[in-house]
Structure 1
């Protein structure tokens, strides 16, 4: 997926406009080779750790604002410019993220139903997590570097900033690939619930959780989504049951990856 990301990010960029560092962390494919064909710097490590990759990239990066970008999303040149402009403005936020554009074409109905509810949840709409990009200025970078290790690194980063310190930038968009199978959706949600539990145990900040009141409020506004709310609730129950074993064992390192969205 790295070639698709770099194509969009660099398509309209002026020479030297962006300093891009690609970190291939424990990759067994040709990520480093593909990235090396672009005008970017490539770092490699045998350690398959996202936190280690972020640390390496951060140490090598030059200047601010700085964007942390997942390799499996799509981000355009203009979107990167919009994020940096907001953070560079005097008195602006410390952290920012783009709007989400979920790729749902061809997905089964339960997948589309789940995300119809998820995208309407207040904390999902306002948070920086789940967007594939978090951008920070120098003060924002210092804030997130002080955070303890966490599987839910984007959620932890989002919660590190108050509502007045972060912004979702209208006009900046990240294309997020959604799961193509129900099993892969469930893997994502088990990982999310496990990581929220870790965050709650390792920090004084409570993770974001969805309750029955949230679902009822959505259905009250849009009654047509009652079926989607039932799907969302069923996924939540199944994921909570499957995550319970990892939580009891304190397993916060097993990364249940959704392979279907990477095709």
Structure 2
């Protein structure tokens, strides 16, 4: 009865991992030979693991990653020309401590979004805040926020994220407002927070796309996004097409 009361107290104190571990210790004979110190250590470890897992689940839920991807499953076949050494460095997530960016370009189906999500997943596992946004939807949200007065609040919310994934840059035509909003968001993050950008457009065409007749804006966005960024240019056949063929 006393131990049941203790478990209830642990739940009341929101020590869920410790409560579950104590209940397991009481229900298995394997814990009997352990010393008091060993049992307490196991309880504390269980609580720490429980909290780490809960935080990871929360970070992944907030990230809303489009793909269920992880760095351990990256396809390194030679035809993709994906640098294994670079990916190992990116998987450490230290580049995010310095506010560096990653530019992912390549044709449709080459795995840009999947790879971006794998890096996003890795960032969550390192306890970092992440958000995946398709650029057309992001710009739509910002456009709406101008009307309801929430632009500054929404901008600050995205600006403080440790990692922002901007998917499909170049897939839609930028309006003058969208171009200005994109610059403002990137400016707020520049130098302190990291951004992953995916695009079907080769980097050589970005300036024309981002400028829209205003080269000053194009220069500003390029300077903040591309300078010093890790660049990955994926090549090869469409992975989606190959998977569909293999499944046929």
Task: Identify the TM-score tier after normalising by the shorter chain.
Answer: under 0.3
Which structure would you say has the larger Rg?
2
Calculate the TM-score normalised by the size of structure 1. Answer: 0.25
Calculate the TM-score normalised by the size of structure 2. Answer: 0.26
> Counting helix residues as a fraction of each chain, which structure ranks higher?
2
> Counting strand residues as a fraction of each chain, which structure ranks higher?
1
